Each structure stands twice: as C-alpha cells, then as structure tokens.
A = this chain, B = another copy of it.
C-alpha cells in the first residue's frame, strides 16, 4: 500500500532503487507544483517593499524559508545527506540524537549545494509559467507552497549525487579517466537521465469527473511546462550535481 523511501546501505543501493526513488520524487514535484498553481502569482510574497518584516530586509518567502529551515535544522533535517538547505549560513545545529545514516556518498558530497541556482530558476523562470496573474492575499500559504516546491526540486536534483555514486560504482574504470583529467564534457556524456514526466502530469493534474472523461482543457498544470521543467532545469541541474560529485569522487 505505502511506498517507503528506504535509506538503503551502500551495498543495497542499485540503479534500480535509485530509479524508484527518482520516480517517487517526480510525484512530489508534480504534486507541489499543482498545489502552488492553485494560487495566483501573489507578488506580495516576493516584493520586499510590500510585506516587509520589521527589522528584516527579507521578502516574505525568504523569511518563511529561513525560519522554517532553522526549525528543520534543529530537528536534524540536514543531517540527512538527501537534504540541502537554501540558506545554509548560520543554521542552528541539530538538537535531536543523530540518526546513523548509511555512508553511501564520498565525503565531498557535503560540499555540493546548487540550491542558489534552483532558487533563481524557480522564481524567475518556473513560477511565471505555472501561475496566473493576480493577488488573493494568501501570501503566507503561497510562500509555504513555494517552499514545498523548492524542497522537492532540491531533493530531486541533489539526488544526482546518489545517481552518480551508483553509476560510478557500477563502472569505476569508465569514469576514472575523465575524472583524473577533470573533463566535464566527457562526464556529461557518460550520464543519462530518463523521464516519464509529461505523461504523469496528464494523469495527476486533471479534474476528476464522474464520467472519467479526460478533458485536456481542464488540466491543472500544463504538462508541457512540467516537461520543459525537466528538460531545461531538473535534468541539466541533476547532471551538474552528478558531474560536480564525480569530479571530486577520487579526491
């Protein structure tokens, strides 16, 4: 009934389990985008002059993301190698007992965080595509929805570290030479990501009618946008993470 994201140990993690996780994470991204698309663009959440927090120069969404990440950091969220904060500077340390996450990745993994790029792409490129103009006042809920999208995208894109590790383990001899010569292009060519995203959006995003007739005009989010999101941003950024990881894999 329920799927479990298993934190597999190194010996268990295969391209198959990685692929299963990526498929489940696609669901999360699509769900979060559909949720965000319920609200109009709501610029009040991003305009620093409109909803300025006293004694704070952040926009509402920055304020919510920073405060939420501080809370999550106290709860150990970022001890998990799958999670990456958007504002890592000055995060509080975890207050809860450490969970013994299996050591799958090379230690350099901890130094790779492309969230500033994800943030930029999300707000400047993706958000205008999935929302309609307008202002319904739900700025806090809107910003919380943004955070869910950002976290889902970040988790998926940084999962490239695990993808790269499994691919490397599978054929270390193929990767060794381009890593030694720090050849990004050669590494990129070695890496491929599969997708089945546009189809999934068709299925998840539609209105359910009693007659079960799929009306393409009533889709809640444009499958072409999600497809483009994957083609233009998720896959290239995942590959970037994979390459960054592999470049340091033999350090």
Contact = CB atoms under 8 A, between A and B. Distances in A.
B196 A210 contact: yes
Contacts of A5: 38-39, 136, 138
14 contacts: A2-B37, A2-B38, A3-B38, A7-B137, A7-B138, A51-B96, A51-B97, A63-B74, A67-B71, A76-B140, A77-B140, A77-B144, A80-B138, A148-B148
Given A34-B31, A76-B139, A141-B80, A2 B130 contact: yes
Nearest first, the 10 closest Cβ-Cβ pairs linking A and B are: A99-B137, A77-B140, A2-B37, A75-B140, A67-B71, A31-B31, A51-B96, A200-B208, A2-B132, A7-B136
Contact of A37 (B3, B77, B130): B3
Contacts of A199: 208, 210
Q: How large is the interface on A (under 10, 10 to 19, 20 to 34, 35 or more residues)?
A: 35 or more
A46 interface: no
A116 interface: no
Interface stretch (A156-164, A172-180, A215-223, A236-244): A215-223
Contacts of A53: 74-75, 95-96
